[in-house]
Amino acid sequence: MKKTITLICILTYIIGNAQCPTPSNLVYSSVNQDALLSWTENGTATTWDITVVPDFYVGAPLPTDSYYVSSTNPFTFANFPQTGCNVFFVRSRCSLTDVSPWIFLTTPGCDTNVYNYLTTLSSNDFSLNSKVKIFPNPSSNILFIENVEKQIQKIEIFDLQGRLIKSINENKDKYQIDVSNLQSTTYLIRLSTETGIETVKFVKE
């Protein structure tokens, strides 16, 4: 018996190159005791890195390498357990050193907190070349956010469970945000501009 579940795929920037297109349309199917993955290749890659993280939980680290290098699409995980929260990751391998960003999908055993957590980490996560200034960090009262290159269109603050805590929709390059009412913990701030999205960490004292 074959059961096909099509889930929304999110781009996750871990190690990738813009010259190596990210695959899309990642689909998970349950076939007897096996798990079948299929996807759309958007470039010329003929091999793909494939990873599954079983029992995924909010706060779990994202993969930095693959469990399998496959030359077949679809790819079958034989005798794969159908219970629990499993997250599959696939990326194209265009050469020995050139790989695309990952895409991922969550199985039905994952709750919305896991999905939201992965979403907050999905785009240019914690960029090392950031032109965004967030200070003071940590902060107890007022948080200043500046982008020296472009205007910020939207700011969203998430907790580490992926819950949206605060959202600001303004088109500015400088923000002054009152965080005095937030609990003392670590948050993720997602900044949307006309050219993309960046996520940075913020610690509330």
Domains of the chain as residue ranges with CATH: 2-120 (2.60.40.10), 132-203 (2.60.40.1930)
pLDDT grade for 113, boundaries at 50, 70 and 90: confident
Nearest CA to 90 out of 21, 172, 147 is that of 21
Alpha-carbon distances, residue 72 vs 21, 40, 86, 91 (angstroms): 18, 12, 21, 13
Question: Are the C-beta atoms of 60 and 51 separated by less than 8 Å?
Answer: no
| pTM of the shown model | 0.55
pLDDT in tens, 144-176: 888 766 778 888 888 766 678 888 888 887 889
User: Which tokens belong to 99?
Assistant: 């790989």
Q: How much is the pLDDT for 123?
A: 40
- In the structure, what pLDDT confidence band is assigned to residue 9 with cuts at 50, 70 and 90? very low
CA distances from 131 to 53, 122, 150 (A): 32, 19, 9
Whole-angstrom Cα distance, residue 143 to residue 58? 25
**Pair 187, 204: CB distance under 8 Å:** yes
